[in-house]
Structure 1
């Protein structure tokens, strides 16, 4: 998984979504852009990808599109309309763009030496595709600047969006990012 932390300036959201979809198709990867103010940390998105992949592998996914399934898990919601709030919007916003190639066999259990060698090549191919797609996204006109965006987390916005109460935060010493990841994991349980 690659992440591009950046500032986006989007004039036409439908056009931007179509463009990143075309980039994803060209390199054989999934691309999803998030409003960075709704992302707790890198691990938040890693967990969303893991759970979306598992749902797809088990044929339990809600969305037909992998990028949307990842968005649903990242948002901790089953309703696409509510999850879209976490996506990018028109105007200039801090963003994080996720680029990920779907693993063929993520755990590698039961592989012999030849299969492991093929898997290693597949992993290298995936990493290469992700890196090339990252460069293509970085070159898009909508990317105003590449800058850290996950460092300036909006705790109030995160608490509101993920329904994390003051009482809940007071009852634990877990960081907010862990509570958000818990919401992501709970989506799996609530199916």
Structure 2
């Protein structure tokens, strides 16, 4: 998995999403864009990808599209329309784009049937035996953005509102806001 962050100036949302789809299909990768104001850190999207791949591997997915399933987990919700809030919109704004090689079965990372762990590699770019070229996809996505460090520069108020996290919950936890969001992502499987 690779993450590409920056600022996107999106005049036509459908055209931007079509270009991401084209990049994904051309490189054998899932390419999913997120509004960076809602993404607390790299671990947020890593865990969402891991859980989405596990759900796809077990046939427990809600969405047919791997990118949408990742977004559902990142959102900590099973409602696609609510999860799409985490996506990009028209205008100029901070984005984080997840790029992940497709699974050997066409959906995502290969899953080990014995223990359910997903295997992923950041070193397989260009390898004809590997199903996706993450480096090429990440480079193509990078060309669509103005370079900026947006990952982890989230909007605390938006995150708290979206994930329904109040001051009482934050005060009761020994962790950070990011830790509470990670918990929401992980608990989605329990709430299914």
- 1:82-161 alignment, distance < 5 Å: 82-104=82-104, 105-107=110-112, 123=124, 125=127, 126=130, 129-140=133-144, 143=145, 145-161=146-162
> What is the total number of aligned residue pairs between the two structures?
179
Any gaps of 5 or more consecutive residues in structure 2? 105-109
- Between the aligned partners of 2:131 and 2:27, the Cα distance in structure 1 is 11
Q: TM-score, normalised by structure 2?
A: 0.87
- Between the aligned partners of 1:108 and 1:27, the Cα distance in structure 2 is 26
Give the secondary structure class of the aligned counterpart of 2:138: helix
Give the secondary structure class of the aligned counterpart of 1:95: strand
Q: TM-score, normalised by structure 1?
A: 0.87
Give the secondary structure class of the aligned counterpart of 2:24: helix
Give the secondary structure class of the aligned counterpart of 1:97: strand
Contact kept? 2:101, 2:132, Cα under 8 Å: no
Q: Deviations over 1:15-72 (max 9, x none)?
A: 1111100100000000000000000100000000000000000011100100000001
- Would the alpha carbon gap of residues 41 and 127 (structure 1) be closer, same or farther in structure 2, given more than 3 Å must change? farther
Give the secondary structure class of the aligned counterpart of 1:174: coil
Contact kept? 1:53, 1:102, Cα under 8 Å: no
Give the secondary structure class of the aligned counterpart of 1:164: coil
- Would the alpha carbon gap of residues 12 and 157 (structure 1) be closer, same or farther in structure 2, given more than 3 Å must change? same
- Between the aligned partners of 1:82 and 1:16, the Cα distance in structure 2 is 20
Please state how far the C-alpha of 1:130 moved relative to its aligned partner. Answer: 0.3
Structure 1 stretches of 4+ moved >6 Å: none
Contact kept? 1:29, 1:100, Cα under 8 Å: yes
As a proportion of its length, which structure holds more helix?
Answer: 1
Contact kept? 2:42, 2:152, Cα under 8 Å: no
Please state how far the C-alpha of 1:99 moved relative to its aligned partner. Answer: 0.2
Q: Deviations over 1:114-139 (max 9, x none)?
A: xxxxx98x945359700111111112
- 1:64-83 alignment, distance < 5 Å: 64-83=64-83
Give the secondary structure class of the aligned counterpart of 2:96: strand
Q: Whose radius of gyration is greater, 1 or 2?
A: 1
State the superposition RMSD in angstroms. Answer: 2.2
